Structure 1
Amino acid sequence: MTGVSVALLAVPVLVALLGPLLADAVARPPGLPYSGGGLLGTDGLGRDVFGTLLLGGRTTLGVALLAVVFAYLAGGLIGLVAASTRRRVLDEALIRPLDILLPLPSLLVISVVAVGWRGDPLAIALVVGAVNVPTVARLVRAAALDAASGPAVEAMRMQGESWARIQFGLVARSALPPVLADIGTRITLAVFIVASANFLGLGLNPTSPDWAVTVSRNREGLLLQPWSVLAPAAMIVAFTLGLNLLADRLLGRRREVVAA
């Protein structure tokens, strides 16, 4: 099972990383829309499907990964501070305002931001990351709460250890297992949100080679040239499926080691 998950994950990741370097060498000149020329034919704009496939993963996966990194940098720090503070007022002040963001639909937030920053990958990543901050903050707080109030932390404080060393050296490490379990799901969710936004026209430019944009733009020509839709869709599915299978496998092994 591990080999299958690695293979599923490796294909879209390698395409996203190496594709832009190979695109110019393998892409064919534009031709007729939805024709059979080239390895995978052409899309609705007459562009080589294989060439756009090599370019599309850079935004689809890159924006999602950047969003998750931002969510954990911001939400993780908030969660650690809320878990370690001895003042309930500060805990409430950090966590309660985030509850306002929890019920907001992700695509609604993206659609509002898209009015001013449509087509900007960084803006999309920051918005998707911000939408995930409340959930990440609550997860980290709950996972770190026991360790933050435990005797080991008190002993380190009495020894004069710095706040950063206590939090990142002890408390954060105690919260690592549930965080690792969440990261796989969080990245998958970010890929889904980014892809949905691009599919609905709320994200990148409609002519972008992004996999989700490509699926959206060519869905009407599915029967004429199925690879213009199936190839990028398969990359998204392979990445999300492979990542979740691999995360489940690694977490299963970790539980077996801990139990032993």
Structure 2
Amino acid sequence: MNRRTLTGVALLAVPLLLAVAGPTLVGEPAARARPFDATGPLGTDFVGRAVTDQLLLGGRSVVAVAAAATALAYLLGVPIGLLAALTRRRRLDELLMRPLDLLLAVPSLLLLILLAAAAPGGPGTLVVIVAVVALPEIARITRAAALPLAHGTAMEAMRLYRETWWRRAVGHVARGSRRILLADAGVRFIGALYLVATASFLGIGVAPDAADWAVMVDRNRSGILLQPWAVVVPAALLVALSVGVNLVTDQLLAGRRTEATR
């Protein structure tokens, strides 16, 4: 492993470990102290709870919702993009892609607010909303990556040899597009993380006093001069998660590129 890879793994490991194992490390809830007090290792938050406990509890919701939303968006967007690229019927291509273009025309934050206002609250709803926001771009990137493969000379040769549709679509087009989709996945996860954090700032999908890193940043910013750790540490964890995902994804792509040239 080179230094860049080690840095990415380290940045990614800290927030992920806190998100996964943090809730199991929290003991019995302590009595609340004064808001923005220096009591404890990292002081207290805006309602007097220990910042350390909130950090251990607050990562699971952010990471789980962002990861689930990204996975759902790819499960829906990749097949749509592949089907639009593979079809020879322009009408089907238009039918698949034009509704997604309409979603792209609406700013993501506005779409997030509109969908949240029309849907019941809860983490599951937030997963679906973030996935819907990310879906159009994933479908378009998949289609753009798949089009040269779906209508190239290799595909024509496979048709002449009467290869099955599954072998042509998945074995050739989908496999040929995977590097681009992998590169996009890191950016897309960060976008989902941003939308989840934004939703938390707006109180969508989570309670205003929930143990959540994004909520911590928003609710404790009024006391940042009194108790900076309540804002700085959760913000740093979110940044580390975003940068770590990008660095690890870049190194995975670099490794595959090296293997392909051998």
TM-score (structure 1 length as normaliser)? 0.92
Deviates more, 1:223-232 or 1:115-124: 115-124
1:143 aligns to what SS in structure 2?
Answer: helix
Deviation by residue 1:120-166 (Cα, 9 ceiling, x = unmatched): 11111111111111111111111111222235445555666543343
Q: What number of residue pairs does the alignment pair up?
A: 259
Asked whether the 8 Å contact 1:119–1:205 carries over to 2, the reply is no
Separation of aligned partners in 2, 1:245 and 1:41: 32
Offset, 1:183:
0.6
Distance 1:165 1:121 in 2: 37
Match of 2:20 among 12, 17, 20: 17
Shift of 1:24: 3.0
Relative to structure 1, the CA distance from residue 209 to residue 119 in structure 2 (aligned partners, 3 Å threshold; closer, same or farther) is farther
Q: Of the candidates 71, 74, 77, which is equivalent to residue 73 of structure 2? A: 71
| Paired residue secondary structure (1:24) | coil
Is residue 28–residue 51 contact of structure 1 (8 Å, CA) maintained in 2? no
Within 1, Cα distance between the matches of 2:142 and 2:235?
Answer: 33
Structure 1 residue aligned with 2:195: 193
Alignment correspondent of 1:109? 111
Aligned match of 2:99: 97
Contact 1:148 1:171 in 2 (8 A): yes
CA contact (8 A) 1:55 1:210 kept: yes
CA deviations 1:165-187 (Å, max 9, x no partner) are 43222211010011011011110
Contact 1:28/1:38 (CA < 8 Å) preserved in 2?
no
- 3-state SS in 1 of match to 2:104: coil
Match of 1:56 in 2: 58
Q: Matches of 1:216 and 1:101 in 2, distance apart? A: 28
Alpha-carbon distance in structure 1 between the residues aligned to 2:58 and 2:160: 53
Task: Give unmatched runs, 5+ long, in structure 1.
Answer: none
- What is the identity, as a one-letter code, of the residue corresponding to 2:89? R
TM-fit CA distance, 1:245: 1.7
The C-alpha deviation readout for 1:74-103, integer Å capped at 9, x for no partner, is 110100101111111111111122110112
The C-alpha deviation readout for 1:53-82, integer Å capped at 9, x for no partner, is: 111111111111111111111110100101
Equivalence for 1:209: 211
Moved more, 159-168 or 11-20: 159-168
1:86 aligns with 88
Q: Quote the Cα distance in structure 2 between the aligned partners of 1:166 and 1:16.
A: 40
Partner of 1:41: 43
**Separation (CA, whole Å) in 2 of partners of 1:142 and 1:186:** 16
Alpha-carbon distance, 1:51 to partner = 0.8
> 2:43 and 2:180 mapped to 1: Cα distance?
44
% identical equivalent positions: 49
Aligned to 1:257: 259
- Given the alignment of the two structures, is residue 136 of structure 1 paired with residue 138 of structure 2, yes or no? yes
Q: Please state if 1:169 is matched with 2:171.
A: yes
SS in 1 for 2:8: helix
Gaps of 5+ in 2: none
Distance of 2:191 and 2:166 partners within structure 1: 30
The 1-side partners of 2:164 and 2:58 are apart by 45
* Shift in Å, 1:17: 0.8
The answer on whether the counterparts of 1:29 and 1:48 sit within 8 Å (CA) in structure 2 is no
1:146 and 2:148 matched: yes
